[in-house]
Amino acid sequence: MADTTRQNRATTLVAVWPGMGQVASTAGYYLMSRLGMEEAPPIAAADLFDVEHVEIRDGLVRKADAPQGRLFLRKNPGEGADVAVFIGESQPPSGSNVAFCKRLLDAAEALGVRDVYTFAAMVSEMLPSSPSRVVGVATDESGLADLKRRDITILDTGRITGLNGVFLAEAAGRGMRGIGLLGEVPALAAQIPYPKASRTVLETFAALAGIEVDLEALVRYERRIDRQLTGLVTQIQQAMQPKVMEDPEEEDLTPDEPGGDAGAEVEGESRAGISDTDRARIDDLFGQARTDPSKSFELKQELDRLGVFKDYEDRFLDLFRKAG
């Protein structure tokens, strides 16, 4: 009887892909780590992707692998719904979007998914010191009513490009309810992690889905990024102020930086490597995360800070795979 109850239990799926401000991926990784999820069987979709670049390490071209997507599941020990998170490494070419969504939804149906959510960013002219709003869309009237009950701003008209929109539409075609949540990001932070938007999106999702998520670690990350952005804004404002007097004899004679060829078609690494101290700290954080999954988000932040997450990605995701 218990097994039947489990099989009939509804599952809520969150699907995220890389995007501006890393809003969706940060929220997805955080949710996965805080809920102690385990990786589910992979979704075969390599044939739907093109290989757009190859990695170079120590002068050698590494094997070209198609982008992957991984599915994680948390079985609720209580009465609430199970929660699944799909984290995509990349979106397929536009001609394969529908085919990809069908494969992901096949896996979702096998897990008993009834509600699906997508997270994304919405760039605006907001100041980094301002609150990050959440804007929502839904695939049916009941979802729209839920958004309105939570006083969430509705995107009345417009377009959602890529899988964030296509996936919701395909899910609705299978009778699932879909909701898309967009976190507001300042234009200044569109190309860097902006956890404030990730946090507000997760708060909204938790309220709508009826689950509890401890956001303390994400709030600390948000405060750190906010301090950095505030300092950057101050520097920009100071640089834009006209100088009162300039001494021509104090002209900056610093030579131009070498290697500034803007026409190069090679994406060079932003780092020459990491120090032994950084490597030791990473190993220590891996050890902590193995015994306490909630530490995995701290590990993810450190890997992102050092720019080495891709190098450690498989080892990181191994933390969420079932033993044996």
pLDDT exceeds cutoff 80 at 240: no
The strand pairing partners of 138, in sequence order, are 179
* Average pLDDT of the segment spanning 46-50: 81
Alpha-carbon gap, residue 222 to 183, rounded angstroms: 14
For position 227, what pLDDT does the model report? 84
Alpha-carbon gap, residue 114 to 175, rounded angstroms: 8
Return the higher-pLDDT residue of 311 and 154. Answer: 154
Task: Please report which confidence band the pLDDT of residue 270 belongs to, taking 50, 70 and 90 as the band edges.
Answer: very low
Q: What digits encode the pLDDT tens for the residues 100-143?
A: 999 999 999 999 999 999 999 999 988 888 899 999 999 999 99
Task: Please report which confidence band the pLDDT of residue 233 belongs to, taking 50, 70 and 90 as the band edges.
Answer: low
For position 36, what pLDDT does the model report? 85
Task: Please report which confidence band the pLDDT of residue 241 belongs to, taking 50, 70 and 90 as the band edges.
Answer: low
CA atoms within 13 A on the CB side of 120: 22
Strand duo 60-61 + 56-57: pairing: antiparallel
For position 122, what pLDDT does the model report? 92
For position 129, what pLDDT does the model report? 83
Other beta carbons within 10 angstroms of residue 304's beta carbon come to 16
Strand duo 134-138 + 153-154: pairing: parallel
For position 47, what pLDDT does the model report? 81
* Average pLDDT of the segment spanning 63-90: 83
Please choose, from the candidates 22, 35, 13, the residue with its C-alpha nearest in 3D space to the C-alpha of residue 217.
35
Helical axes 276-291 vs 296-306, angle rounded to 10°: 160
Return the higher-pLDDT residue of 36 and 16. Answer: 16
Domain range list for the chain: 2-222, 269-324
Return the higher-pLDDT residue of 94 and 72. Answer: 72
pLDDT exceeds cutoff 90 at 61: no
For position 302, what pLDDT does the model report? 83
Q: What is the mean pLDDT of the chain?
A: 81
Alpha-carbon gap, residue 167 to 11, rounded angstroms: 17
For position 315, what pLDDT does the model report? 83
Alpha-carbon gap, residue 83 to 11, rounded angstroms: 6
In CATH terms, is domain 2-222 a member of 3.40.50.10900?
A: yes
3-state secondary structure the chain: CHHHHHHHCCEEEEEECCCHHHHHHHHHHHHHHHCCCEECCCCCCHHHCCCCCCCEECCEECCCCCCCEEEEEECCCCCCCEEEEEEECCCCCHHHHHHHHHHHHHHHHHCCEEEEEEEEEEEECCCCCCCCCEEEEECCHHHHHHHHHCCCEECCCCCCCCHHHHHHHHHHHCCCEEEEEEEEEEHHHCCCCCHHHHHHHHHHHHHHHCCCCCCHHHHHHHHHHHHHHHHHHHHHHHHHCCCCCCCHHHCCCCCCCCCCCCCCCCCCCCCCCCCHHHHHHHHHHHHHHHHCHHHHHHHHHHHHHHCCHHHHHHHHHHCCCCCC
State percent of the chain over pLDDT 70: 82
For position 67, what pLDDT does the model report? 75
Task: Please report which confidence band the pLDDT of residue 267 belongs to, taking 50, 70 and 90 as the band edges.
Answer: very low
For position 147, what pLDDT does the model report? 95
For position 274, what pLDDT does the model report? 82
For position 256, what pLDDT does the model report? 39
For position 150, what pLDDT does the model report? 92
